[in-house]
């Protein structure tokens, strides 16, 4: 099969899965739907692997393929095509997305076992993967926007998956609204670019951008910043990040897949994909770097104090994506994409392990109530530690190579980027600290009652299921979490998925060992061949190793601090009291929610009320809608009254008609 065919297949398989599951939801038992879901994504992964080999068989210059299925429109200068772009970057993303998705589907196959919405879950999940792949494979802005919006919709459906939980639906709405704000940015940005270059196609845009715009031309910078707004919203960067922690209301596999491994990396992908535009608008790129750097610090500080297990990992995700955004905006593409890949592995793993712990807690996510799970959940504990070490950048785990490579490259670029690199190292210290704070609190210390019960061989189930966020009483029917919980120690599917990711989190970094291997850098070269910075920013192996070692030492220090405070003999309370004012700012998440509420939500609500009471009622309802329906109704009545049923009137109208025509012709002659 040709590479192009495989590309379409990668796209079609998850869609087929989603449609098949959706159409047969009554006809087949739910386990079969699980199998269909897993198989569809698994086959897509196989196709993506074949696509990778097909691409590698081609010459360096022939590794950017566009396959057009058909034109949607090719008129008045708009070239909207159903076309996919297959190049190393999109293939890498396809591999990561389908690969991690396959494991997460396997995990969900067990984890969601007791849920009444099992079938719906797999239909959504497959649809999400399709949307993400559409986003990744799109060869033009048009399809990118479609995929972008689909991903937002799929995310909304999955966050609000337990749709009878008020907290979940609220979180879903929040995520959707912020994402749509980003979509608007993306569409406007694409329009700015399109207006300059006159084409929607990516490759043509890259060729034409140099002629259409001068460097840092205001239109281009504005367009790129608008594109960044889209990227920030999707990738949860400051100030568009507030939806991501709330999105943890969704089932844990969703957090793992969408809000850690794939969807939130879309912004990183977007910047890397459109790098010729950003390199031509360095001012816009600088905005990306700064925002990424700010996000990585802010998120890490909030991660220090959050007491919700999944939210700790969520803030960590934000922070890590901050690294990636900073990297790709600073033209450190290969390292950014490298971190994207390793992060997908270890962050998905951390979420899965967290899901297992949450199951053992009977659905409760509060770190304050956890403790002592180390002995009773050895497998989960091992996975959590592997993920944690990778996240903290301890050798030889994957995060060690990828995160510190970003920082080493930033140092090499120098100037303001050096400052950002130093801030990145500060972030690394915080990262290691909050990661192991979470691990020490959940797995060490005194056994919680739930852990106690597990040590006697019973999995804790709450006598009456409640919403852990607000204590509302729930039932276990559809729309709420199901009656059974599953932990990795007892569910094969979860074990397989976590084991696979643990291995990847350990070995994933070996692709890029400074001075030894440079696989990813070489692989991505055809995509970035037009970038001057891709080759020029290149620290020596020694410099890189120094950077790596500094990172490792910082990571180890962070873990040590965490141990002294939260480990054996630590006194967390007094530590907290000593930094009370800062703690308060962090606990309140730097007051971003409050600021957004004050600056945007309230004025918008006021405007909405005003529009509703006056504009909508008088202009829209009265004049616009009322007027047009009135006109249609009156015309309809007129037409029907002409339709008398008498032939003589019909004939008369016929005569009038051709008299009119004749008169027109004679007058115009």
Partner 1 sequence: MSSVFAQATTKGPPINWEALSPFIALVVGACVVLLIGLARGAFIRRQVVPVLTLITLGVTAGLGIWQWDTNEAIISGALKVDNLTLALTMIFVAGGIAATFLSWRSIATVEAGEGEYYALMLTSILGMLVLVAANDLVVLFIGFELLSIPLYVLCATHMRREQSLESGLKYLIIGSVGSATLLYGLALLYGAAGGTNYADIAAVGSAMADDVLFLTGIALVMAGLAFKASVAPFHQWTPDVYEGAPTPVTGFMAVATKAAAFGVIIRLFDVALIDATVTWAPAFATLAVITIIVGNVGAIGQSSLKRMLAYSSVAQAGYMIAGVVVTTQLGISAVVFYLAIYVVMNLGAFAVITARERETGLGDDISSLYGLGRDRPLLAWPMTISMLALAGFPVTAGFFGKIYLINAAVDNGYAWLGVAIVIGSAISLAYYLRVVAAVWMREAPATSLTLSARPIMAGGSQEADDEARAAGIEPGADTGRVIADDFAEPSIAVSGPRLSQPEVVFVAIVCSIVTIAFGVYPEPLMDVARDAGAAFSSLL
Residues that bind partner 1 (CB under 8 A): 69-70, 72-76, 632-633, 635-636, 639-640, 642-643, 645, 647, 649-651, 653-654, 656-658, 661-662, 664-666, 668-669
Which one, of 34, 42, 32, lies nearest residue 10 by Cα? 42
Q: What is the nearest approach in angstroms of partner 1 to the Cβ of residue 632?
A: 5
Query: For residue 163, with 0-12 CB atoms within 10 Å meaning exposed, 13-18 middle and 19 or more buried, which class applies?
Result: middle
Within a 10 A sphere around the Cβ of 194, how many other Cβ atoms?
Answer: 20
Structure tokens at 454: 């597990």
Q: Measured from the CB atom, is 601 or 654 closer to partner 1?
A: 654
Q: Are 253 and 108 in contact (CB under 8 A)?
A: yes
Q: Are 324 and 340 in contact (CB under 8 A)?
A: yes
Q: What is the nearest approach in angstroms of partner 1 to the Cβ of residue 22?
A: 14
- How far, CA to CA in Å, does 557 sit from each of 382, 430, 444, 561? 21, 10, 19, 6
Q: Measured from the CB atom, is 615 or 649 closer to partner 1?
A: 649
Cα 598 to Cα 613: distance, rounded to the nearest angstrom: 22
Q: Which residues contact 640 (CB under 8 A, 6 or more apart)?
A: none
Q: What is the nearest approach in angstroms of partner 1 to the Cβ of residue 94?
A: 23
Which one, of 83, 15, 106, 90, lies nearest residue 48 by Cα? 90
Give me the residue label for tokens 């600056």: 599
Q: Measured from the CB atom, is 577 or 656 closer to partner 1?
A: 656
Within a 10 A sphere around the Cβ of 59, how many other Cβ atoms?
Answer: 7
* Percent of residues in the chain assigned helix, strand, coil, to nearest 5: 75, 5, 20
Q: What is the nearest approach in angstroms of partner 1 to the Cβ of residue 392?
A: 48
Q: Measured from the CB atom, is 422 or 656 closer to partner 1?
A: 656
Q: What is the nearest approach in angstroms of partner 1 to the Cβ of residue 659?
A: 9
Q: What is the nearest approach in angstroms of partner 1 to the Cβ of residue 419?
A: 50
Q: What is the nearest approach in angstroms of partner 1 to the Cβ of residue 637?
A: 8
Q: What is the SS3 assignment for 57?
A: coil
Q: What is the nearest approach in angstroms of partner 1 to the Cβ of residue 25?
A: 14
Q: Measured from the CB atom, is 619 or 664 closer to partner 1?
A: 664
DSSP one-letter code for 369: G
Q: What is the nearest approach in angstroms of partner 1 to the Cβ of residue 75?
A: 5
Q: Measured from the CB atom, is 595 or 635 closer to partner 1?
A: 635
- Bridge partners, 85 (sequence order): 66
Q: Are 124 and 157 in contact (CB under 8 A)?
A: yes
Q: Are 187 and 145 in contact (CB under 8 A)?
A: yes
Q: Measured from the CB atom, is 610 or 664 closer to partner 1?
A: 664
Cα 110 to Cα 493: distance, rounded to the nearest angstrom: 5
Q: What is the nearest approach in angstroms of partner 1 to the Cβ of residue 21?
A: 18
- Bridge partners, 308 (sequence order): 366
Q: Measured from the CB atom, is 610 or 649 closer to partner 1?
A: 649
The phi-psi region of residue 569 (left if phi > 0; otherwise alpha if psi is between -120 and 50; otherwise beta) is left
Give me the residue label for tokens 């009370």: 580
Q: What is the nearest approach in angstroms of partner 1 to the Cβ of residue 559?
A: 54
Q: Measured from the CB atom, is 82 or 447 closer to partner 1?
A: 82
Q: Measured from the CB atom, is 74 or 214 closer to partner 1?
A: 74
Q: What is the nearest approach in angstroms of partner 1 to the Cβ of residue 69?
A: 8
Q: Measured from the CB atom, is 609 or 633 closer to partner 1?
A: 633
The phi-psi region of residue 199 (left if phi > 0; otherwise alpha if psi is between -120 and 50; otherwise beta) is beta
Cα 45 to Cα 500: distance, rounded to the nearest angstrom: 15
Cα 95 to Cα 310: distance, rounded to the nearest angstrom: 26
Cα 51 to Cα 1: distance, rounded to the nearest angstrom: 9
Q: Measured from the CB atom, is 67 or 256 closer to partner 1?
A: 67
Q: Are 458 and 487 in contact (CB under 8 A)?
A: no
Cα 261 to Cα 9: distance, rounded to the nearest angstrom: 22
Q: Measured from the CB atom, is 604 or 642 closer to partner 1?
A: 642
Q: If residue 254 lies in a helix (H) or strand (E), which one and from where to where?
A: helix 252-256
Q: What is the nearest approach in angstroms of partner 1 to the Cβ of residue 656?
A: 7
Cα 296 to Cα 237: distance, rounded to the nearest angstrom: 9
Q: What is the nearest approach in angstroms of partner 1 to the Cβ of residue 405?
A: 44
Q: Measured from the CB atom, is 137 or 244 closer to partner 1?
A: 137
Q: What is the nearest approach in angstroms of partner 1 to the Cβ of residue 66?
A: 17
Q: Is the peptide bond before 475 cis (omega within 30 degrees of 0)?
A: no
Cα 293 to Cα 381: distance, rounded to the nearest angstrom: 31
């Amino acid at each position: 099969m040709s590479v192009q065919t495989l590309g379409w297949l990668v796209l079609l398989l998850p869609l087929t899965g989603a449609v098949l599951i959706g159409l047969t939801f009554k006809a087949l038992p739910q386990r079969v739907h699980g199998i269909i879901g897993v198989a569809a994504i698994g086959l897509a992964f196989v196709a993506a692997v074949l696509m990778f080999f097909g691409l590698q068989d081609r010459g360096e210059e022939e590794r950017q393929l566009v396959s057009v299925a058909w034109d949607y429109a090719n008129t008045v200068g708009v070239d909207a095509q159903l076309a996919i772009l297959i190049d190393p970057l999109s293939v890498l993303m396809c591999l990561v997305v389908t690969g991690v998705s396959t494991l997460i589907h396997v995990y969900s196959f067990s984890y969601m076992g007791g849920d009444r919405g099992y079938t719906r879950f797999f239909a959504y999940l497959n649809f999400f993967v399709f949307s993400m792949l559409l986003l990744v494979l799109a060869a033009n802005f048009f399809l990118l926007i479609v995929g972008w919006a689909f991903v937002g919709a799929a995310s909304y459906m999955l966050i609000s998956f337990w749709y009878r939980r008020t907290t979940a639906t609220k979180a879903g709405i929040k995520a959707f609204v912020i994402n749509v704000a980003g979509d608007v940015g993306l569409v406007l940005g694409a329009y700015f670019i399109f207006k300059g270059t006159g084409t929607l196609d990516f490759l043509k845009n890259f060729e034409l951008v140099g002629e259409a715009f001068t460097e840092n031309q205001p239109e281009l910078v504005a367009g790129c910043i608008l594109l960044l707004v889209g990227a920030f919203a999707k990738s949860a960067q400051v100030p568009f990040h507030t939806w991501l922690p709330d999105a943890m209301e969704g089932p844990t596999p969703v957090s793992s897949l969408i809000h850690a491994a794939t969807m939130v990396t879309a912004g990183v992908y977007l910047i890397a994909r459109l790098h010729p535009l950003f390199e031509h608008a360095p001012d816009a790129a600088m905005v990306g770097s700064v925002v990424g750097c700010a996000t990585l610090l802010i998120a890490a500080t909030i991660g220090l104090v959050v007491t919700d297990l999944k939210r700790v990992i969520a803030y960590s995700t934000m922070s890590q994506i901050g690294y990636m955004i900073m990297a790709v905006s600073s033209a450190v593409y290969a390292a950014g994409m490298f971190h994207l890949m390793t992060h997908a592995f270890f962050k998905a793993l951390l979420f899965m392990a967290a899901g297992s712990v949450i199951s053992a807690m009977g659905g409760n996510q509060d770190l304050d109530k956890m403790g002592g799970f180390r002995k009773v959940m050895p497998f989960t504990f091992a996975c959590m530690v592997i993920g944690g070490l990778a996240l903290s950048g301890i050798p030889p785990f994957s995060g060690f190579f990828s995160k510190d490579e970003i920082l080493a490259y930033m140092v090499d670029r120098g100037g303001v980027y050096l400052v950002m690199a130093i801030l990145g190292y500060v972030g690394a210290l915080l990262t290691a600290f909050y990661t192991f704070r979470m691990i020490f609190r959940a797995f060490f210390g005194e056994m919680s009652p739930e852990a106690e019960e597990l040590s006697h061989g019973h999995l804790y189930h709450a006598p009456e299921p409640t919403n852990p966020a607000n204590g509302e009483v729930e039932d276990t029917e559809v729309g709420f979490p199901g009656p059974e919980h599953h932990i990795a120690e007892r569910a094969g599917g979860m074990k397989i998925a976590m084991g696979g990711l643990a291995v990847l989190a350990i070995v994933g970094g070996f692709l890029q060992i400074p001075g030894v291997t440079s696989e990813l850098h070489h692989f991505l070269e055809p995509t970035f061949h037009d970038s001057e910075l891709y080759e020029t920013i290149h620290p020596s192996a020694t410099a890189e190793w120094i950077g790596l070692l500094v990172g490792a030492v910082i990571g180890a220090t962070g873990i040590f601090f965490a141990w002294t405070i939260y480990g054996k003999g630590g006194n967390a309370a007094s530590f907290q009291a000593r930094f009370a004012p800062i703690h308060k700012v962090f606990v309140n998440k730097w007051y971003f929610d409050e600021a957004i509420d004050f600056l945007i939500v309230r004025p918008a609500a006021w405007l909405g009320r005003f529009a509703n009471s006056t504009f909508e009622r008088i202009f829209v309802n009265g004049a616009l809608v009322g007027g047009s329906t009135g006109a249609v109704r009156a015309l309809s009545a007129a037409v029907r009254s002409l339709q008398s049923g008498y032939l003589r009137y019909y004939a008369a109208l016929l005569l009038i008609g051709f008299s009119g025509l004749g008169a027109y012709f004679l007058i115009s002659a």
